[in-house]
Chains A and B, each alone.
Chain A
Amino acid sequence: MAVLNVNGKAMDHNAAPDTPLLWVLREQLGLTGTKYGCGIAQCGSCTVLIDGAPMRSCHVPVKGVAATAKITTIEGLAANGKLTKIQEAWVASDVPQCGYCQSGMIMAATALLAAKPNPTDADIDAAMTNICRCGTYQQVREAIHAAAKA
């Protein structure tokens, strides 16, 4: 049995050490908001924060995540039902279409705004490398700027 610190809670799991964090979150801890898209750290659907840094959890073996490392998933953003300003901006801009990539988008945007509270378009281009097949990029950009102003 190993322990992870997820969304402020210590959570036990018994996954093999090489198992990607993504599948531990999804299949052992029941946190299905983090999505499987490619398994090779390309698409960003599986993005979570580890100690505040955006990480593609499909490529992070769970053995490499310390029990003390603070993992934040999409489920850990809203506190007591109150959405973060980024989530609120996403709602206000009606960003998601199919929505499958949006957990990863929001986690990447959360990390971006933590590092750069007023990002330029170039900052957004550089940080937001997640793939969205529905093509929500224009609304994602709009929502990030709106959240920065909120």
Chain B
Amino acid sequence: MTIQTSLGRRGFLASTTAVAGGFSLGFHVPFLDDGAANAQAGVRELNAWVVIHPDDKVVVRIARSEMGQGTLTGLCQLVAEELECDWNKVTWEYPTPGQNVARNRVWRNFSTGGSRGIRESNQYVREGGAIAREMLIAAAATKLNVPAGELTAANSVITHKGSGKSVRFGEVAAAAAALEPPKEVKLKDPKDWKIAGKPIKRLDTVEKVTGQQIYGMDHTMPGMLVATVRACPVIGGKLKSFDAAKIEKMPGVKKVVAIDGNAVVVVADTYWNAHTALAALPTEWDVGELGKVQQDQIKATLKAGLDAPEAFVGNKAGDAKAAIDGAAKKVTATYSFPYQHHVTMEPMNATARYTADKCEVWCGTQNGEAALAAASEASGLPVAKCEVYKLMLGGGFGRRGRSDYVRQAVLVAKEMPGTPIKLIWSREEDMTHCQYHPITMAKLTAGLDKDGNLVGLHVRISGQSILASLLPQNLVNGMDPATFQGLMQTGVEAAYGYDVPNLLIDHAMRNPHITAGFWRGVNVNQNAVYMECFMDELAEAAGQDPLAYRLKYLKPKWAAVLKAACDKAGYGKPLPAGHFHGISQVMGYGSYVAGVAEVSVADNGQVKIHKITAATNPGHVVNPAQIDRQVAGSFVYGLSAMLYGEITVKDGAIEQTNFDTYNMLRMDEMPKVETVLVPTHDFWGGVGEPTIAVAAPAVLNAIAKARGKRVRDLPLMHHELKKGA
């Protein structure tokens, strides 16, 4: 990403949020510290994170994107905790990516993915709150004519114990804003937290239950036109021809344009008119050899990789092959995990307005600065002349980290300078033009000694690399380290939990033409299926209990969280007739997680997931109620993939087009989810993603126990689990 930093500071507009004032989008106020009206009204920015109004209202600036994961509320809790303000006076707003560039990236990273929202920014947002508090106290000391050291701040009031005098934050905010910020502040010990760490309600709920919340899809502006796009169904193919004359007279149609040589767009007065016209537009594509690619070929290519002589080594200890060859018993199994689609409930969309000296974009994005760079690149204008106004996301899951839809909206807007264009993808366009969760397979081979002890393990992964597809510059000598997520020997991100004396985990990279990308939980998902199901296979081969077997090899933090989940679930205790427990654990996104699934399989093969008990050690807990929801939600995501998720390729194109061909878990299949938090308070881990990965292996392990039949190729819907089948 190339971001120029030559911008002057001023004049940027920030979209208000519904929370901040109930304004509709499209209504803009000058950014607070630059706004003369706000300055007159005594509204003061104490620093990049904290703005205080004379009536004590606190506006916390949130750089990360809220897409349902609750980061917005959690970050506000952390700032408010240090600020010592009244939680009931807290509201929030997004700074813009352009403003971040103009202010030398004062808000640092806007990118929202990898469950990093809180764990990566907690330190500097807490410091923002603490610095603002110290400035308020210093201003209060002057106003009250007492030493600052004798003042305490609580609930937006600064009090002098000796005299009983007090002053509200709003009364000293203006004076405080003029002070030099302290160079250093001491952050509170989390054990003293009063706002952070508590199950506080989200800040963005009322709008979402009244229909008032504005998402990118809902954005509107005077004079706006609506466009919809059809890109070549074969990713990598080109637009050969289209016959605009056939639809130009259709109702509402304003313009038909080709963009990027691979897509055609109809611009109309409404989405429905654009959609109807696009459906009637004769179009020819040039798909070349890519048009011959079939799913079976992709699978065969991956299968060949399972035994290929060359592979990138991601984790190695001792001599796995020699240990396996010399072992008393050898166990081998092959697993596969297909392409997945994110399916955000809100299809991709963005609104853009282009003029010769300004390009503006309104959209939901997980990466505001990448969207800004995309706007600059597509418009041909320098970053200083571009701006992105972030709107609420109707789901992200990694899909909105990519800015392809922003680029398209800007390219269309460039064809009609001055006219705001809202580009909406149909669900079909969305389903067939994604960066898909990569397809991989794994062949696992283990050697056990005569007592069943694991003496050597080789995990060969064959399949697609996300980095090769999206960020080839991040490959390390051709290797994609992200492929080994959850299987790496060390690191704070996603380290392998087992101590195996002789270990080899390697990757034969096989990259089909389908674009691969980050999908909630990313590669931990399938790596956990491979490793955690195979551990059950090894325990079975050794004639030992899966929990006891794992505990022989798990490092302490991994073991502790697995034991916590098992204790809570009553693992090993009697279950109702026909119910079975399956377990799994993983470390991902900095957190340690484990799950115990209680499952039954009816004689007719119907699988019922009764309950999943999940333990999480995220280090510090910022909002236990939101973690609870993230864990339950993550299981819906992970189980949807396990049960139904499969994107396939036919003639080079994606076969699935909508919910009727890409099914997902609904209410009637939702297991009861119980969350156990076992924080150790010595690190900061993420919570949006890690638990996804334990759902599928725990359930698959329970199914294997229930039916005596192991499913190794997902999704589950292709397998007959009828009794005796």
Contact = CB atoms under 8 A, between A and B. Distances in A.
A98 B395 contact: yes
B209 A90 contact: yes
Contacts of A133: 342-345, 395, 397, 636-637, 664
A99 B204 contact: yes
Interface residues of A, number: 59
Interface stretch (B64-72, B540-548, B557-565, B646-654): B64-72
A61 to B, nearest CB: 11
Interface in B201-238: 201-202, 204-215, 217-218, 220, 226
A32 B660 contact: no
B683 interface: no
A138 interface: yes
A139 B209 CA distance: 13
Given A43-B659, A133-B343, A141-B670, 13 more contacts: A42-B658, A45-B345, A87-B209, A90-B209, A98-B68, A98-B394, A99-B68, A99-B205, A103-B211, A125-B668, A133-B345, A133-B664, A137-B670
Contact of A135 (B205, B212, B634): B634
Nearest to B343: A133
Interface in B487-507: none
A15 B637 CA distance: 37
A102 interface: yes
A150 to B, nearest CB: 14
Contacts of B211: 31-34, 73-75, 103
15 contacts: A26-B218, A32-B218, A35-B217, A40-B658, A75-B211, A94-B625, A94-B629, A95-B205, A96-B208, A97-B69, A100-B345, A134-B395, A135-B636, A136-B629, A136-B632
B659 A138 contact: no
A16 B274 CA distance: 13
A97 B629 contact: yes
A136 B345 contact: no
B418 interface: no
Interface in A57-94: 73-75, 77-78, 83, 87, 90-91, 94
Nearest to A89: B209
B345 A27 contact: no
Interface of A: 15-16, 19-20, 23, 26-28, 30-40, 42-43, 45, 73-75, 77-78, 83, 87, 90-91, 94-103, 106, 124-126, 128-141
Given A27-B270, A133-B397, A38 B209 contact: no
The A interface is mostly helix, strand or loop, or mixed, namely loop
Given A33-B212, A75-B210, A83-B209, A38 B218 contact: no
Nearest to A30: B220
Contacts of A91: 201, 205-206, 209
B271 interface: yes
Contact of A132 (B202, B270, B625, B636): B636
Contact of A27 (B68, B272, B634, B660): B272
Contact of A97 (B210, B212, B633): B633
Nearest to A99: B208
A134 B427 contact: no
B346 interface: yes
Given A43-B345, A138-B672, A141-B667, A97 B70 contact: yes
Interface in B625-649: 625, 629, 632-637
B205 A94 contact: yes
